[in-house]
């Protein structure tokens, strides 16, 4: 399979693990949020504030369509909401081997609690918001994934080693 795609909730460690994985496997690395920010010339909170979530979701789908043409042998870290759309789940799977990095609600909360850069987590009661979103998305992540890996209690190098082991059978 041509690419290795990391999906999962905000704070699951997709970008951190993805960068190390790409280095170790001598693959390219790309992050869908970073690509959208650089193409738009503005940060994600600004895109949400100025044009709304639906506009951002359309940018995500458009990017996945472009990536079908121009992305090979690359570790792709994907924004946490990307697998919610059915079309995106199909596009992700056609890009390569999709790995779902999962984490418990407690782990996620620890990792995202002091971060103001995620508009989906703005507002009161972070815990309730994370709980609801995780519950809404769990099935979508599972449907999109070829492989699922739990990250709780594991260091980044450990997670990377497991991803490597689990994806070899997909030709990566
Ligand atoms: C989002 C996750 C973010 C980013 C945007 C929306 C989401 O990416 O795409 O803030 O809906 O879960 P990370 O998962 O990299 O934080």
Is the whole model's pTM more than 0.95, yes or no?
yes
Distance of CA 130 to the CA centre of its chain: 16
Closest listed residue to residue 78, CA positions, set 127, 149, 15: 15
Q: Phi, psi (5° rounding) for residue 17?
A: -65, -40
60 secondary structure, DSSP code: H
Nearest CA to ligand 1 atom 9: 79
- DSSP secondary-structure letter at 26? T
H or E segment to which residue 18 belongs: helix 14-25
Q: Residue 1's pLDDT is what?
A: 56
For residue 137, the ligand 1 atom closest to its alpha carbon is: 12
For helices 53-70 and 44-51, the axis angle rounded to 10 degrees is 130
pLDDT tens across 21-47, in order? 999 999 999 999 999 999 999 999 999
Residue-wise pLDDT tens digits, 62-112: 999 999 999 999 999 999 999 999 999 999 999 999 999 999 999 999 999
pLDDT bracket for residue 164 (50, 70, 90): very high
Is the CB–ligand 1 distance for residue 80 below 6 Å? yes
DSSP 20: H
Shortest-distance atom of ligand 1 to CA 31 = 15
Q: Which atom of ligand 1 is nearest to the CA of 60?
A: 9
Nearest ligand 1 atom to alpha carbon 45: 10
Cβ pair 5, 99 in contact under 8 A: yes
- Best probe residue, ligand 1, of 80, 119, 135 (max atoms within 8 Å of C-beta): 80
With a 6 Å cutoff on the Cβ, whether 150 touches ligand 1 is no
Residues 6+ apart with CB under 8 A from 113: 126
């Amino acid at each position: 399979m041509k690419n290795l795609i990391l999906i999962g909730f905000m704070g699951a460690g997709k970008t951190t693990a993805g960068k190390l994985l790409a280095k170790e496997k001598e693959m390219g690395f790309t992050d869908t949020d970073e690509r959208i920010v650089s193409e738009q010339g503005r940060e994600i909170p600004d895109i949400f504030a100025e044009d709304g979530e639906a506009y951002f979701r359309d940018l995500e789908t458009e990017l996945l369509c472009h990536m079908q043409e121009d992305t090979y042998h690359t570790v792709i870290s994907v924004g946490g909401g990307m697998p919610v759309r059915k079309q995106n789940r199909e596009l992700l799977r056609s890009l390569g081997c999709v790995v779902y990095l999962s984490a418990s609600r407690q782990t996620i909360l620890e990792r995202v609690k002091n971060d103001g850069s995620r508009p989906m987590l703005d507002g009161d009661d972070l815990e309730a918001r994370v709980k609801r979103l995780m519950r809404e998305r769990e099935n979508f992540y599972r449907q999109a994934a070829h492989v699922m890996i739990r990250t709780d209690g594991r260091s980044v190098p450990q997670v990377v080693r497991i991803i490597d082991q689990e994806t070899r059978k997909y030709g990566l």
